[in-house]
Structure 1
Amino acid sequence: MVLEMIGINKGFFNVKALNNVSLNLQKGEVHALVGENGAGKSTLMKILAGIYQPDEGEIRLNGKQVILSSPNVSQNYGISIIHQELNLIPNMTVAENIFLGREPKKLGLFSNIHHMNRETKKLLERFDLNLDPNAIVSSLSIGEQQIVEIAKAMSRNAEILIMDEPTAVLEEREVQKLFDLIYQFKNQGVSIIYISHRLNELKRFCDRLTVLRDGQFVKTLPMEGLTEKEIANLMVGRELNELYPAIRNTIGEEILRVESLTRKPNFEDVSFSVKRGEIIGFAGLIGAGRTELVRTIFGDWRPDGGAIFWKGKKTDFRSPEDAVKAGIGFATEDRKHTGLFLDMSVSQNISVTCTRKVSKWHFIRKQVEGKLVQRNIEQLNVKVNKITNPVKNLSGGNQQKVVLAKWMAAESELFILDEPTRGIDVGAKGEIYELISQLAAEGKAVIIISSDLPELLGICNRILVMYRGQIKGELDHSIANEQNVMVLAAGV
């Protein structure tokens, strides 16, 4: 065995995150690690990466016991991690992020920028991504940042590579490139621990699977012969029903119309509409302009031309505040930086969109706030000990539910959801889909941007496909499939 983790225990704030968990890894193996949000997957991997220290337990590498006291120590043992939450420095360049802390030197003193840029370009070319190594990371899309995160881990020539939700915001083309690289690593003897909520991915290249539930080890099994449904049932400990609710066809009047909206170079001459009770999806490859389009509609960016009509009237949202007051909620793709106030409480994060409801004479009425927050938490099944705890203490999936809860608390009429189930387990996904369906049934309108094509196909009335800043085509749910969506997304 390349790796053995034996009897690992870890607690936070008197909560047991891991209880007697064990995991082993063979040379050249791709080992899937699965479980619901909060099952302990990321905590276990952060212990392996030297970020956390176990309270109890033993770690062996190639048969020898080791103490991984820091990330540097872990990296020196040949362990590298691709984090679920991006771990990049926004105001540094792509190349500087990839080689941070191990910059090649010129004359032993100065960073060799030319060498860093050249090596960075080689790494990014493996994804067919023509990205400037000198680009500042904050200027990149989330998908591009994810590829930079992957390239950073690849550049360390690790013997053990941990991939925590690496495809969550990648499109099918980039996903396939990553899978090709995984096969290369496997053939080179690199051992990979792969965490993903996209169960169809696991079947493609994983050799074995370990299931965690509520911080405890459940089972390790060969992947061969397992179905996606069997994996999902092991994760949640119960029989799961159909993932997607039935698509409703009772559509009301138009609530939003966009005509010839343009913001160069991101998108140009975009026109579409959405009606009450309707769920429309936006598909497209990284850089297609989908996120930039909805940010402009939401008033975050100013358009160069075109018009936005809200409830039949031409409207000019000069800021997100204007859009929120009108009745639009926007769950961004980056919950860590733009979706939540991580150091603030769960309660504050949910009530921030409706302070007028819970305040009097500019003072927050805690009892009113508590009732509103509790109602939304129960509706979304958010797992939280106390609503006064910082939202950063929640798992990624529960953080995403808090993002959705704040717009429900605001009683939004149009929900714009950018990657709404990123990093969310299959059980919670079903709950989110049911909630989205319920919003539509109540006459709300929903716009979904997603890199998960089965998600769009499973829940949307219509799918609009963008290519290089323009809408390439529109598909009704009755005729949409992965093939015809990807043909439009590739501009064919």
Structure 2
Amino acid sequence: MQTLLAIKNVHKAFIGIKALSNVSLNVYEGKVMALVGENGAGKSTLMKILTGIYQKDQGEITYSGQPVVFKGPRDSQQAGIGIIHQELNLIPELSIAENIFLGREFTNAFGKINWTKMYEEADKLLNRLNLDYNSKTKIAALSIGEQQMVEIAKVLSHESKVIIMDEPTDALTDTETQSLFKVVRELISEGRGIIYISHRMQEIFEICDDVTILRDGQFVAEYSVEELNEDQLIEMMVGRKLEEQYPNVVSNFGETILSVRNIKGPGVKSASFDLKRGEILGVSGLMGAGRTELMKLLYGATIKTAGEIFLEDKSVHFTSPNEGLKAGIVYISEDRKRDGLILGMSVKDNMTLTALKYFSHPIGQIKHEIEKIAVSDFITLFNIKTPTSSQIIGHLSGGNQQKVAIARGLMTKPKILILDEPTRGVDVGAKKEIYQLINQFKLEGLSIILISSDMPEVLGMSDRILVIHEGRISLDCERKSVTQEKIMAAAVGKLH
């Protein structure tokens, strides 16, 4: 077994705080190495060292049999190491082709960009991923899942020997995921090595050959995937046993709090459903089916063109998110970095941003002590791992950022909480904590709409499930009477 890349006994500290201690990782030719661990385990720091963003304090990196030191991302890229980032790194106003070949544009003999060649090469990459996109399309017109596929195409264009995939399927549909896996298998058949970072356990066992486990910035073990089962892997990641993965609780629902009747609007052709007090309504469907678009109509981010919405038996018509918020409907975005949080602000300021009226005097002056106590209470309740409430939120792990985003929504004391992909990019331990919080709020009478591409999550956490297909509700039924196969049939429009 040929080792393409070997990281041995790497250490890294920031201002005296150890981020990595004695960490090792091997990448083998023609194999997929899973890199797993909870948020904050050190995976991102290790990848930043490998790609030259950070410099290691101690240890050795050997690539193609030679010791290497990458002084920046260009060094590692030129050496043949590519990375598909979890966070999108695209320019919205440029086309797909321009983003793929940015800084490496094809030129003619006169130094001018050869647009024909660039679009042809971009189309080849998109076809390789089974994507029916026009490479002249602007990135801004694509969904998050589609943008993720462009990121993948961009890395494939470099013909890298070692490819790092950081949560590559987070925003992908099942079909897009299988297209990606097909490409992964092609790449390893060509002798490339892949580092695959994912919180989705089923993917580890489907596509990976080996697995390296990190915990608290330290190397735990390297195994062949065949040697482990899912429970064993999770226990090594978190350092403890986890009980039931999806802790659904039974409660007595209250009266109907929300009634939606034949509403239409951008991305929604027709939708009708009810939501009861203390109920978790799961929403499933393929990417682009209209799940998020339906939610935007509910809280006023877009305006319905037909139909009616009744909140506590009163007809409502929201023309802005602020109106929806005042009425008690809170939406937590699927893209917390772009729409949910201000990364340069503190944990405290992010958490209280939409609830300042609860901490203000009539003349507008903020009651800082009351605000501080409320934030401290939520940090404790949500088990948010942060040194202080003044910590810049961009420095927290993904799971802790997501907890802050949810806490901010709850600060406004909502009647309905809409969670759009609440556990995307969140590790198994933090997921369990978020599920327990969701159940706690449910028992307190909060109505929750849970949108998720993770079908086991929808099946495990919901009381009732809606499936959306091409802007219409194709299935509305109790959780106990639905199966994964039935949800998928409804999602693709084949439920009879």
Please give the range of the TM-score, normalised by the shorter of the 2 chains. Answer: over 0.9
Read off the aligned partner of 2:70 and give its amino acid letter.
L
- The answer on whether the counterparts of 1:376 and 1:408 sit within 8 Å (CA) in structure 2 is no
CA distance in 1: counterparts of 2:118 and 2:482, whole angstroms: 44
Alignment gaps of 5+ in structure 1? none
Taking the TM superposition and a 5 Å limit, the aligned residue runs for 1:183-198 are 183-198=185-200
C-alpha distance in 2 between matches for 1:210 and 1:466: 38
The 8 Å contact of residues 251 and 443 in structure 2, kept in 1 or not, is answered as no
Please say if 1:312 is aligned against 2:289: no
Residue 208 of structure 1 deviates from its aligned partner by 1.2
Structure 1 residue identity aligned to 2:402: Q
SS at match of 1:431: helix
Q: Secondary structure at the match of 2:315?
A: strand
Q: Aligned residues, how many?
A: 491
Counterpart AA for 2:357: R
Q: What's the TM-score, normalizing by structure 2? A: 0.96
Structure 2 distance, partners of 1:115, 1:259, is: 50
Q: CA deviation at 1:115?
A: 2.1
- Give CA deviations for 1:337-391 in whole Å, capped at 9, x if unaligned: 1000110000000011210122223232322111111111111111111111110
Using the alignment, how far apart are the partners of 1:329 and 1:212 within structure 2? Answer: 36
Q: In the alignment, does 2:243 pair up with 1:241?
A: yes
Cα distance change on mapping 1:63 and 1:38 into 2, 3 Å? same
Is 1:483 aligned to residue 474 of structure 2?
Answer: no
Tell me the distance in 1 between the aligned counterparts of 2:367 and 2:140.
37
Amino acid at match of 1:334: D
Superimposed CA distance per residue, residues 282-301 of structure 1 (whole angstroms, 9 cap, x where no aligned partner) = 11111101111111212111
Letter in 1 for 2:264: T
Report 1:3-402 matches (<5 A): 3-264=5-266, 266-360=267-361, 361-402=363-404
Further displaced range: 5-14 or 73-82? 5-14
- Conservation of the 8 A alpha-carbon contact between 1:279 and 1:447: yes
Preserved CA contact (<8 Å) 1:171 1:286: yes
Structure 1 residues 306 and 117: CA distance shift in structure 2, 3 A: farther
Q: Note closer, same or farther for the CA distance 1:128–1:305 as it changes in structure 2 (3 Å cut).
A: farther
- Letter aligned with residue 409 of structure 2: W
In 1, distance between residues paired with 2:302 and 2:22? Answer: 49
**Relative to 1, partners in 2 of residues 1:94 and 1:276: Cα closer, same or farther, differing over 3 Å?**
same
CA contact (8 A) 2:82 2:155 kept: yes
Contact 2:129 2:153 in 1 (8 A): no
Q: CA deviation at 1:443?
A: 0.8
- Per-residue displacement from partner, 1:430-468 (whole Å, max 9, x unpaired)? 111111111111111111111111100110111111111
Q: Does the aligned pair in 2 maintain the 1:281–1:456 contact within 8 Å? A: yes
Summarize the Cα distance change of 1:12–1:93 in structure 2 as closer, same or farther, 3 Å threshold: farther
The amino acid that maps onto 1:228 is E
- The one-letter amino acid paired with 2:26 is N
**TM superposition shift of 1:205:** 2.2
| 1:412 matched residue in structure 2 | 414
Name the TM-score, length of structure 1 as normaliser. 0.97
Q: CA deviation at 1:94?
A: 1.4
Q: How far did 1:13 drift?
A: 4.3
- Residue aligning to 1:462: 464
The 1:126–1:460 alpha-carbon spacing in structure 2 relative to 1, beyond 3 Å, is farther
d(CA) in 2 for partners of 1:462 and 1:97?
A: 41
Q: Using the aligned pairs only, state the percent identity.
A: 46
Is 1:472 aligned to 2:487, yes or no? no
Runs of 4+ in 1 over 6 A off after TM superposition: none
Q: Secondary structure at the match of 1:192?
A: strand
2:17 & 2:304 partners in 1: Cα distance?
48
CA distance in 1, matches of 2:323, 2:339: 17
- Structure 2 residue 424 is matched with structure 1 residue 422: yes
Q: Which AA in structure 2 matches 1:102?
A: R
CA contact (8 A) 1:6 1:23 kept: yes
Q: Distance in 2 between matches of 1:422 and 1:135?
A: 26
| Cα 1:64/1:423, change in 2 over 3 Å | same
CA RMSD of aligned residues (A): 1.4
- CA deviations over 1:121-177 (Å, ceiling 9, x no partner): 222233433222222212221111111111111121111010111111212111111
* 3-state DSSP of counterpart to 2:480: coil
3-state DSSP class of the match of 2:304?
A: coil
Distance in 1, Cα, partners of 2:306 & 2:133: 28
In the TM superposition, what whole-angstrom CA distance separates every residue of 1:217-238 from its partner, at most 9, and x where no partner exists? 1111111131111111001101
- The aligned amino acid for 2:324 is A
CA distance in 2, matches of 1:140, 1:415: 26
One-letter amino acid of the counterpart of residue 347, structure 1: K
Contact 1:247–1:461 (Cα < 8 Å) also in 2? no
Whole-angstrom CA distance in 1 between matches of 2:59 and 2:334:
36
Structure 2 CA distance for partners of 1:257 and 1:124, relative to 1, 3 Å: farther
Superimposed CA distance per residue, residues 54-113 of structure 1 (whole angstroms, 9 cap, x where no aligned partner): 222221101111111111111111111111111112222211111111111123522222
What SS class does the counterpart of residue 110 from structure 1 fall into?
A: coil
Segments of structure 2 that go 5 or more residues without pairing to the other structure are: none
Using the alignment, how far apart are the partners of 2:493 and 2:120 within structure 1? 30
- 3-state DSSP of counterpart to 2:227: coil
128-137 or 199-208, which deviates more: 128-137
CA distance in 2, matches of 1:120, 1:438: 48
- Residue identity matched to 1:371: I
Aligned residue type for 2:490: L
User: Is residue 447 of structure 2 the alignment partner of residue 445 of structure 1?
Assistant: yes
Does the CA contact (< 8 Å) of 1:31 and 1:192 recur in 2? yes
The alpha carbon displacement at 1:489 in A equals: 0.8
Q: Contact 2:32–2:207 at 8 Å: present in 1 too? A: yes
CA–CA separation in structure 2 for the residues paired with 1:199 and 1:209: 11
Shift of 1:272: 1.3
Matched residue type, 2:314: K
Letter in 2 for 1:275: K
Q: Is the 8 A contact 2:248 2:462 kept in 1?
A: no
Which range is displaced more, 213-222 or 112-121? 112-121
Distance 1:13 1:337 in 2: 28
- The alignment partner of 1:124 has SS state of helix
AA of the residue aligned to 1:345: S
- What amino acid is the match of 1:59? I
